[in-house]
Amino acid sequence: MKQDLLQHTLKDVSSTTQLSLRDWDLLIRQARSADLLARLAVLLQKAELLDTVPPQPKAHLESALVLAAAQNYAVLREVEHVQLTVNSLGLDLVLLKGGAYLVADLPAAQGRLFSDLDILVPQARLNEVEATLMLNGWATTHHDPYDQRYYRRWMHELPPMLHIRRMTVLDVHHAIVPATANLKPSSAALLAAAQPVPGHSGLRVLAPSDMVLHSATHLFYNEEFSHGLRDMSDLDLLLRHFMQADDFWITLLARARELGLIRPLHYCLRYCTQLFATPIPQAVLTEVQGLSKASAFMDKLWLKVLGSLHPTARDQGAAIAAQLLYLRAHWHRMPPWLLVYHLCAKSLRPRAKAEAN
């Protein structure tokens, strides 16, 4: 029988006290596949339950904590390298997603694993930033001519850049959604509201409301869901932290209206409530639901892909739901003519390469 033990445990970590060794084996495998093993360990630490874990699973949890700490150190070192390069152009470095959570010391950084560093720069300075990065050891990837044109003409970022010595990956964004998407949040507004990181001159992160909206937009308008549960856990932790400010909910709703991001915010609040029991005020939920309706059909699709995708937890129909949401994401990212062109180009390219060989 399928059992999403990971999602249940993230919602109620105290339930681990009732787990058998067989349950722990299942939980460890599900958490590792979702890149949430270290976060699970952090939650157990905070609840003062890590020492109650049997020795066998506890060894895996402690190992995950060591790995996460080592990665955090490496990421902070990489931030220093990128910051020096970007600051040399007279620009502050604006970090996104995991890197931002880490430098701002947010709860969402605790136990979070990530494979690249994301930054946001003004589009008018994009070519200058790319050239300077290349002079400092970063090289473009995705060398296929179509991929290069796809990124540079239609996407919201450069092709990923790889440092030739450290082998670290850098994603340079000039927006948070593709240029062809039906959502049009203002990058200038995001950059103008970005906040300095105390003790780090020349380094900024998005404002709290913008950080939540970006994370929600990235998840609910993306075509890939392998980290869906991790991203939902990020949103839960971000909301729990930022809601301590008295004006957070008012600011969040106003900013969502201003940037045209009510729909991703609605999904974010709706599923945080269902998956993690995030304590969102009912008045906020009611207001957002009044502005953006969610169908029962969309609920079924999202809830199938936002849980653990490990085979032991993957619900019946999850693969079909992921395919439908993949098509939805592309539909929202591109106008129909470009979507047809892009899908044809992607489908014909492997055949052309095979024929050439």
pLDDT band at 1 (very low <50, low <70, confident <90, very high): very low
Supply the DSSP string of 33-56, one letter for each residue. HTT-HHHHHHHHHHTT-GGGS-HH
User: What does the alpha-carbon distance between residue 152 and residue 160 come to, in Å, rounded to a whole number?
Assistant: 11
pLDDT in tens, 99-146: 999 999 999 999 998 888 999 999 999 999 999 999 999 999 988 888
Domain 5-356 indexed as CATH 3.30.460.40: yes
pTM of the shown model:
0.92
pLDDT band at 42 (very low <50, low <70, confident <90, very high): very high
Instruction: Report how far apart, in Å, the C-alpha atoms of 1 and of each of 5, 280, 308, 314 are.
Output: 12, 32, 14, 10
Q: What average pLDDT does this structure show over 221-230?
A: 87
Which residue reads 């949430």 in tokens? 36
* Cα 183-185-190 angle, rounded to 5 deg: 160
Q: What is the mean pLDDT of the chain?
A: 91
pLDDT in tens, 301-322: 999 999 888 888 887 788 899 8
Q: Is 291 a residue whose pLDDT tops 90? A: no
* Helix, strand and coil in the chain, % to nearest 5: 65, 10, 30
Q: Residue 159's pLDDT is what?
A: 95
User: What does the alpha-carbon distance between residue 157 and residue 289 come to, in Å, rounded to a whole number?
Assistant: 31
User: What does the alpha-carbon distance between residue 252 and residue 28 come to, in Å, rounded to a whole number?
Assistant: 35
pLDDT band at 349 (very low <50, low <70, confident <90, very high): low
Strands (E), 154-309: 161-163, 169-173, 195-197, 200-205
Q: Which residue has the higher pLDDT, 135 or 335?
A: 135
Residue 197 and residue 103 in contact, taking contact as beta carbons nearer than 8 Å: yes
Lowest mean pLDDT, pick from 114-118, 242-246, 331-335:
331-335
Q: Residue 352's pLDDT is what?
A: 40
Four-residue CA torsion sign, 210, 89, 118, 328: positive
Tokens at residue 185, please?
Answer: 């949040």
Q: Quickly count: other Cβ atoms within 10 Å of residue 152's Cβ.
A: 15
User: What does the alpha-carbon distance between residue 46 and residue 195 come to, in Å, rounded to a whole number?
Assistant: 28
Supply the DSSP string of 80-111, one letter for each residue. HHHHHHHHTTT--EEEEHHHHHHHTT-GGGTT
Strands (E), the chain: 93-96, 117-120, 138-140, 161-163, 169-173, 195-197, 200-205
Could you tell me how many helices (H) and strands (E) the chain has, helices first? 16, 7
pLDDT in tens, 159-181: 999 999 999 999 999 999 998 88
Residue 335 and residue 326 in contact, taking contact as beta carbons nearer than 8 Å: no
User: What does the alpha-carbon distance between residue 115 and residue 225 come to, in Å, rounded to a whole number?
Assistant: 15
Four-residue CA torsion sign, 98, 104, 110, 111: positive
Residue 230 and residue 35 in contact, taking contact as beta carbons nearer than 8 Å: yes
Lowest mean pLDDT, pick from 81-85, 114-118, 279-283, 284-288:
114-118
Q: Is 21 a residue whose pLDDT tops 60? A: yes
